[in-house]
Amino acid sequence: MALNRNWSKTSMCTGSEGQVGTVSEPAAEQTMDRGKPAPAADATLVDDLVTANHILFNHGVVDAFGHVSVRHDKAPDRFLLARNLAPALVTPDDILEFDLDGNPLAARGRPVYLERFIHGEIYRARPDVVAVVHSHAPAVVPFGAVSSQPLMPIWHMSGFLGEGVPVFEIRDSAGPGSDLLIRSGDLGVALAESLGTSSVVLMRGHGATVVGSNLKQAVFRAVYTQMNAELQLQAKILGAATFLNAQEAAATTVSVGSQIDRAWDMWARQAGSNNP
């Protein structure tokens, strides 16, 4: 049974004596708009971001939860992300602009994702990143929880995993009593540091965050990270798997990466037929 993440959450706070306590907070926030919006993003970019939400839902990478963002095409210190909404239901009217601190620029009181700090801090730390996907893809979660079983590229479609897949341990930053959500800029910074120069970071007990140099690449990587995890779990049943070596991972990243539009075009057409 899926958890209703709109219920109150428990987050960590520190009292005057330094003890860790808990406080009830919502999983979405209404926050005031701050600053002046950038010139309007290209309409095609907005449409592609909507499509990305629907593709990720169709492939089971996200369900009612999870989110995808893209860096603003006219302001690199801004990014576009939907309001607090299930990805399958996102439309162009739901796309909002944020600064890198996670402040909305024109939300007009609409609730926003609490974990928007994932996106802002990765964009701040990684100028090469243009899109970010955060998900709770089920097949990926075990690899963040079992340290003896790293996620590794098992086929040519996921050679990008060959650069290494770090695991973010939130206890190192938030202590032992957090709800595992990236609910502050400081936690976003810690996650970005764990990601480093990799394409994927696992989040123990939570999910994964995937980045790309463009929106299509980030979606492609998120889909094939989930598929790789499924195959790796299946291979484990058969015995010891032979994974791609570093040279194979690098070569397949280039060759398969040149075909991303082929996948995107098909997925976008499928998503178009399922639009709300």
Residues labelled as active-site residues: 115
Nearest to 134 by CA among 226, 190, 209, 189: 209
Contact 109, 30 (CB under 8 A): yes
The span from the CA of 204 to the CA of 119, in Å, is: 18
Helix ranges (H only) for the chain are 43-58, 116-125, 141-145, 171-174, 185-195, 215-238, 246-257, 260-272
Contact 144, 208 (CB under 8 A): yes
Q: What is the DSSP string of 28-73?
A: EE-----SPPPSPPPHHHHHHHHHHHHHHHHTTS-SSS-EEEEE-S
Contact 27, 103 (CB under 8 A): no
Quick count: other Cβ atoms within 10 Å of Cβ 111?
A: 17
